[in-house]
Amino acid sequence: MPARSYLTGLAFLSPALFVLIGFFFLPVVLTAVFAFTNMSTSTGISGGSYVITGNLLGSLKAQGVAPTVVDALSQASFVVDEQSIAKAQAAGTDAQFLAEIEQQLSGKAFSEERAFERELKSLRYRPRSIRDLKLAVDQFELSVLNTRFASAAEAREAVSELVPSAPADVVDEIVDASYTGWRWTTSNFTRLVSSSDTWRLVGNTIFYVAVTLSFTVFVGLFLAVTTFYLPAGAASAFSMLWLLPRITPVVLYTVMWKWFTWEGGFVYTAAQALGLPAFNYMKGSVPTAWTIVIMVNGFIGAAFAMILFSGALKAIPVQQLWASEADGASRWQQIRFIILPHLRWPILFVVSYQTLSLLSSYQEIWLTTNGGPGRTTTVWALESFNTALNSYTGNLQYGLGAAMALILVIVGVALSILYLRLFRFDELLSRPKIEF
């Protein structure tokens, strides 16, 4: 029986488990895996092959590989031997012509294409058209340049054949460098640590989270307390109005902010009429861009905070408010000494919840300033998204983006643990904080 009841329990839990594994653990695990690779659009996410390109040879030379070897690799040569004749035969070169080549030129090698071509032109059975002749010439070319080798061994063989004098370790180095697929690496992290951009991003992110959070809490408190003192009808109309940022779809909401702040928008027109500087406030200057980013996100958070705070306010026994008035407390003293202490736990909840959600949110910034002007309002999550999934140049760096995302996950988990400890959420959940 116990086994059966466990199975039943598991069956009931399984949808939740699938969702948890599929939509939370798996993405986190994949992010962690990707973070330790150099995957990008150019490497692809499956395996690669070995290709020696002109660019690669250039960089090898710069890295100190012997110039003689590099030059030898970069040069094509034309060799007439059994191998190349067989290759030409397979490619469909005229048999008589081929026999003549074998007879006359066997064992010869040419370092220049033109010399070999001239030699072929002098043969009796040469093809009539230049194009066919060129095709025949191509069959005898021996070169590693831009040739795709499926395995490292093949590439190594080809290189050794072309440059027999190259030492084995140099060959290995060249072959290794010619790999086009992704590989395991920690360079994403070393790159992040050493880059000065990273620290600016960190600074931006901390600034963004701290200021938006303060905005959220203060505006949320202000709205909740003011609606609390309003007559019921006015209060519900007022709070519905302030819920709009929360319930409007993000895209629509940001578009409205654009209408509001762009050239010809409301603020622009108003500023113009008042003789104040009028420009695209969203993208025209750093202070206005930050102000708008903070307000766009802050009002969404404030709507959320307002709901929570309003609920907590309604839970305060009305006699305590009456008592404080009879005790002589002014409105402000009543808020300060009675209402705010009752809101302590909701405030802590909003702070911790919003920290985590602000850290990982980028869509509002992406849709408004898009991190601009320049990269002044770019935060960590937006940069991570752009790096991995939205590169302007077209090379998406999955590995680097995943590394950034992984750091965000780690920071988020660390902060959650800190908040759980600091604010003793277990206590908050187990016992009501408001005593009657």
Partner 1 sequence: MQIVLKDFTKTFDGNTVIDRMNLTVRDGEMLALLGPSGCGKSTTLFAICGIHRVNGGQILFGERDVSNMPSQQRNVGVVFQNYALYPHMSVFDNIAFPLKVRNDSKADIARDVRTIAELTHIAELLGRRPGQLSGGQQQRVALARALVRKPDVLLLDEPLANLDAKLRLEMRSEIRRIQLETGITAILVTHDQVEAMSMCDRIAIMKGGQILQIDAPKDMYHNPRTSFVAGFLGNPPISFLDGRTMDGRFLDEGTGVTLPLPAGVTVANGTGLTVGIRPEHFGHAGDVPVRGKVVFAETQGRENLYDVALPNGALLRSVQPARDDVRPGDEVSWQLNSAAALFFTEDGRRL
Residues that bind partner 1 (CB under 8 A): 317, 319-320, 322-330, 333, 337-338, 341-342, 344, 434-436
**Closest listed residue to residue 52, CA positions, set 184, 170, 140:** 170
Residues, the chain: 436
Q: H helices within 21-151, ranges in order?
A: 26-35, 54-62, 67-74, 82-91, 95-105, 113-121, 130-139
Rounded Cα distance between 242 and 309, Å, is 13
Q: Indicate the Cα dihedral angle 208, 211, 217, 219, nearest 10°.
A: -110
Rounded Cα distance between 186 and 296, Å, is 37
Q: Please identify, using beta-carbon distances, which residue of 80 and 339 lies nearer to partner 1.
A: 339
Q: How far is the CB of 326 from partner 1 (least distance, A)?
A: 4
How many CA atoms lie less than 13 Å away from 370 in the CB half-sphere? 10
Euclidean distance between the first and the last CA atom of the chain, given in angstroms as a whole number: 45
**Closest listed residue to residue 243, CA positions, set 197, 187, 307, 296:** 307
Q: Please identify, using beta-carbon distances, which residue of 35 and 221 lies nearer to partner 1.
A: 221
Q: H helices within 168-195, ranges in order?
A: 168-177, 187-194
**Which residue reads 């949320």 in tokens?**
220
Q: Please identify, using beta-carbon distances, which residue of 39 and 221 lies nearer to partner 1.
A: 221
Q: How far is the CB of 347 from partner 1 (least distance, A)?
A: 13
Q: How far is the CB of 327 from partner 1 (least distance, A)?
A: 4
How do strand 109-110 and strand 77-79 relate by DSSP bridges? antiparallel
Q: Please identify, using beta-carbon distances, which residue of 169 and 435 lies nearer to partner 1.
A: 435
Rounded Cα distance between 261 and 292, Å, is 9
Q: Please identify, using beta-carbon distances, which residue of 214 and 330 lies nearer to partner 1.
A: 330
Q: Please identify, using beta-carbon distances, which residue of 244 and 340 lies nearer to partner 1.
A: 340
Q: How far is the CB of 324 from partner 1 (least distance, A)?
A: 7
Q: Please identify, using beta-carbon distances, which residue of 229 and 322 lies nearer to partner 1.
A: 322
